[in-house]
């Protein structure tokens, strides 16, 4: 099921800011003025594969933040496969 089809219009989203919109910040915002959709900070797929114990922290979320979009970037399909 595609959650985008079920969001109200216009969509109000919480967009990422590197170093600001971590899981704690997103949870506070969600509990006070819940956006329709939340996005994580951008995380390079190479970093997730190289040191997941550090870089997966940027993708951590709580149930109150749902729906949430994890943002991974890179140019190596194999790394995306490994990160998944």
**How far, in Å, CA of 14 to CA of 10, rounded?**
13
Establish if 5 belongs to a structural domain: no
Torsion angles phi and psi, residue 43, rounded to 5: -130, 125
Q: Is residue 70 part of a domain?
A: yes
41 is written with which tokens? 């900070």
Q: Which residue range is the domain that position 70 belongs to?
A: 10-83
The confidence band for 13, taking pLDDT boundaries of 50, 70 and 90, is very high
What average pLDDT is seen over the chain? 90
Phi-psi region for residue 19, left (φ > 0), alpha (ψ -120 to 50) or beta?
left
3 state SS of 46:
helix
Residue 51 lies in a domain: yes
Decide if 62 is inside a domain.
yes
Residue 75 inside a domain? The answer is: yes
Is 3 within a domain?
no
Residue 67 main-chain phi, psi, to 5 deg: -75, 145
pLDDT at 11: 95
pTM: 0.81
Q: What digits encode the pLDDT tens for the residues 21-51? A: 888 888 899 889 889 999 998 899 999 999 9
Q: How many domains does the chain have?
A: 1
């Amino acid at each position: 099921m595609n959650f985008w089809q079920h969001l109200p219009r216009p969509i109000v989203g919480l967009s990422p800011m590197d170093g600001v919109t971590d899981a704690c910040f997103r949870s506070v915002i969600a509990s006070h003025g819940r956006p329709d959709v939340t996005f994580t900070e951008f995380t390079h797929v190479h970093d997730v594969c190289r040191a997941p114990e550090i870089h997966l922290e940027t993708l951590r979320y709580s149930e109150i933040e749902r729906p949430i979009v994890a943002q991974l970037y890179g140019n190596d399909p194999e790394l995306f496969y490994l990160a998944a």
